[in-house]
Structure 1
Amino acid sequence: MLGNFKYSNPTTLYFGENALDYLKEELSNYGKNIMLVYGGGSIKKNGIYDDVVAILKDSGKNIFEDAGVMPNPTVEKLYEGCKIAKDNNIDLILSVGGGSCCDYSKAVSVSAYAEDDPWEKYFARMEEVDNKIIPVGCILTMAGTGSEMNGGSVITNPETKQKIGHVFGENVFPKFSILNPTYTYSLPKYQMVAGFFDIMSHILEQYFSDSDDNTSDYIMEGLLRSLIHSSRIAVDNPTDYDARSNIMWTATWALNTLVAKGKTTDWMVHMIGQSIGAYTDATHGMTLAAVSMSYYRLIMPHGLEKFKRYAINVWDINPEGKSDEQIANEGLDAMEAYMNELGLVMDAKVLGVTDKMLDGIADGTFISSGGYKTLTHEDIVNILKESMK
């Protein structure tokens, strides 16, 4: 394990088919004015909305709705939410939805009382929070982002073609999150498998760094094996409770800051994917899938030892009689075959990327130095070109 670190996670989780039963207990900790955040209305079709509203009313709460949160929440939507929160003296923001709703709710929580423009303050300049924060609670309906147990928030500015994530501190983590795996059953397959790969990518961004003997890497190998096994089952049977519950739990632990401890981390797949999303508004998990293989094949020689370990411990590649490079490549081949099996988008052109966008996407990509290779502008353009073949 590298360095010295502190680990703390203030989010309380309620997990299982009866997890919503704990909402009323949590609501007793907050004032009367609740801002109910959700997306396009699917929670009204599947009955979750009615269940949540009934609990809110039974708890004597005043409900102020903020609907229409889009998959890549925009800065314009953020301003709208800030006005609702501040005008109504909101005591708790209750997010009911997937990662975008959670991300958006955290952005509103820190932005509503910001004296400066919140986009400039928190996403362009990456400043720490120095104003009132509205507490957030999450009811999760999609597994993928891990936003239910971390301080991350990603907002898109369509005008500047930037999609920027700010990882806030523990004071911005959701106070509680309710995770009922059955709430994920009705998700369309495209969104479901995109979420699966978002989980995988979160783990790999933290796994492919360092070469020390690190407990976090052993945990991540177990999480990856569980995800691969359960995702295959869920694709065939979306209502398999064991599979969907394992996936939901894996998603949370993939990005609740635990497995990053004692490590440097990479995040270049996410940085490139987010820049693609700023230009195309494509589904986040699919942008990651489109660039992952070209990125990992580029950096594999610089982290050969870990890629060999990944092949053997995650994909069960037999190392006998093979060079380290052969083993590592077979592991990446197995990963690519799995991605195709799930039906992930592997061609960035399908997501709307064109040759004319390449320099702009590369310019909008934040460069991380935590992985095995620090990318140049040319590297990013080449990764994008490879992802369009």
Structure 2
Amino acid sequence: MNIDFTYQNPTTIYFGKNAIDNLSSELNNYGDTIMLAYGKGAIKKIGLYDQVISILEKNGKNIVELSGIMANPTYEKVMEGAKLVRENNVDLILAIGGGSVIDCAKAISVSAYCEGDAWTRYWIQYEPVDNKIVPVASILTLAGTGSEMNGGSVITNEEVKLKNGRVFPANVNPVFSILNPEYTFSLPTYQMVSGIFDMMSHLMEAYFSGEDDVTSDYLIEGLLRSIIHSAKIAVGNPTDYEARSNLMWSSTLAMNPIMGLSKTQDWEVHMIEHQLGAYTDCAHGMGLAAVSLPYYRFIYKYGLDKFVRFATQVWNVDTTGKSKDEVALEGIDAMEQFIKECGIVTNIKELGATEEMLPLIANSTVILGGYKVLTADEILAILKVAYTA
């Protein structure tokens, strides 16, 4: 562990079939006005909306609603929520849904009382938040982003075709999150497996960097094996509680900053996918999978020993009689086979990308990188492979 770090996580997690029972006691810690933030109505179909409304009413809360939050939340939607917060003097934003809803709630939290343009200040210039922050809490219905226990908020500005992420300090984390794996049972398989690769990608972004011996890498390998094991069960039986509970908790841990402590990290796959998403509005995890395969095949030689370790420790690749290059590539091949078994997309054309979009995506992608810092031309080459896969 060669890199110094400071770690803080103030989120309280209530996990399990009866986790919702803790909502009433938590509500006592906040004021009278609660804003419910949610998507396009899925929570009503499973009865969760009515249950939460009943709890809020029994606790004498005034309810303000922001519905219709989309899969890739827009800055326009953030501003709509921020206006509601100011007009109603909201005391707590309760986000019910997946990572997009929770990301949007956090964006509203920091933007409602921002002086000036919040997009420019907080997602372009990455300024410290110096204004009032409205507390956020969450009830999770889709596992994938880990937004329920971190300060991350990814927002799309449709006007300028940019999808930018920002990890805010721990004071923007949800103050509490309710995680009942049963709330994820009704998800379409497409959304479930998209979330599964999202959580895997979060781990790999931290993993594929550095050459030192870091405890975080051992944790990441264990989580990846757990996700792979449970994913195979959940794809066959989406209501297997043990598998879905393991996936939900693995997702929360995967994007908890603790997995990247003392790591330099990569995050180029996410940067490429963000711009792919800005142009196509594709499901985040699907975009990550389609980009990851050509990206890792492009950079593996620059971090060869780690890719060999990935192949052996995560995918159980046998090294007998094989070169390091062969082992590393076999590990990536094993990941591709897993992706296809789960029904995850590997071609960005299927996600709505066109050939005309590819240079626009490449040239607007933020350049980060771990073992290899790419050029825009190299990103374009990767996108072309992802397009013809």
Whether TM-score is above 0.5 comes out as: yes
Percent identity, please: 59
> Residue 349 of structure 1 corresponds to which residue in structure 2?
349
> Residue 70 of structure 2 corresponds to which residue in structure 1?
70
Q: Matched residues in 2 for 1:326 and 1:356: separation?
A: 35
> Residue 251 of structure 1 corresponds to which residue in structure 2?
251
SS of equivalent residue, structure 2 residue 134: coil
Q: Which runs of 5+ in 1 are unaligned?
A: none
> Residue 123 of structure 1 corresponds to which residue in structure 2?
123
Q: What are the Cα deviations for residues 149-208 of structure 1, in whole angstroms up to 9, with x where unaligned?
A: 000001101111100001100110110000000000000011110000000100000011
Summarize the alignment of residues 33-182 of structure 1 with structure 2, pairs less than 5 Å apart.
33-182=33-182
What letter corresponds to residue 196 of structure 2 in structure 1? Answer: F
Q: Does 1:386 align with 2:374?
A: no
SS of equivalent residue, structure 2 residue 9: coil
Q: Matched residues in 2 for 1:125 and 1:210: separation?
A: 27
> Residue 266 of structure 2 corresponds to which residue in structure 1?
266
Q: Which runs of 5+ in 2 are unaligned?
A: none
What letter corresponds to residue 234 of structure 1 in structure 2? Answer: A
SS of equivalent residue, structure 1 residue 63: strand
The offset of 1:142, in angstroms, is 0.3
Q: Matched residues in 2 for 1:245 and 1:183: separation?
A: 10
What letter corresponds to residue 7 of structure 2 in structure 1? Answer: Y
Q: Matched residues in 2 for 1:83 and 1:207: separation?
A: 40
Q: Matched residues in 1 for 2:343 and 2:218: separation?
A: 28
Q: Matched residues in 2 for 1:377 and 1:101: separation?
A: 31
> Residue 295 of structure 2 corresponds to which residue in structure 1?
295
Q: Matched residues in 2 for 1:291 and 1:27: separation?
A: 42
> Residue 372 of structure 2 corresponds to which residue in structure 1?
373
What letter corresponds to residue 374 of structure 2 in structure 1? Answer: L
What letter corresponds to residue 167 of structure 1 in structure 2? Answer: V
SS of equivalent residue, structure 1 residue 355: coil
What letter corresponds to residue 169 of structure 1 in structure 2? Answer: P
SS of equivalent residue, structure 1 residue 381: helix
SS of equivalent residue, structure 1 residue 388: helix
> Residue 318 of structure 1 corresponds to which residue in structure 2?
318
Which consecutive aligned stretches of 4+ in structure 1 deviate over 3 angstroms post-superposition? none
Q: What are the Cα deviations for residues 307-355 of structure 1, in whole angstroms up to 9, with x where unaligned?
A: 0000000000111111111111111110000001011110011111111
The offset of 1:255, in angstroms, is 0.7
Q: Matched residues in 1 for 2:355 and 2:101: separation?
A: 32
Summarize the alignment of residues 269-280 of structure 1 with structure 2, pairs less than 5 Å apart.
269-280=269-280
> Residue 15 of structure 1 corresponds to which residue in structure 2?
15
What letter corresponds to residue 372 of structure 2 in structure 1? Answer: K
User: How many residues end up aligned between the 2 structures?
Assistant: 388
SS of equivalent residue, structure 1 residue 387: helix
Q: Matched residues in 2 for 1:331 and 1:337: separation?
A: 10
Task: Report the TM-score when normalising by structure 2.
Answer: 0.99
Q: Matched residues in 1 for 2:118 and 2:26: separation?
A: 28
The offset of 1:8, in angstroms, is 1.3
When structure 1 is superposed on structure 2, of 297-306 and 316-325 the one drifting more is 316-325
Q: Matched residues in 2 for 1:362 and 1:388: separation?
A: 13
> Residue 362 of structure 1 corresponds to which residue in structure 2?
362
> Residue 218 of structure 2 corresponds to which residue in structure 1?
218
Q: Matched residues in 1 for 2:367 and 2:114: separation?
A: 28
Q: Does 1:230 align with 2:261?
A: no
The offset of 1:2, in angstroms, is 2.0
Q: Matched residues in 2 for 1:3 and 1:339: separation?
A: 33
SS of equivalent residue, structure 2 residue 382: helix
SS of equivalent residue, structure 1 residue 174: coil
> Residue 189 of structure 1 corresponds to which residue in structure 2?
189
Q: Matched residues in 1 for 2:70 and 2:255: separation?
A: 22
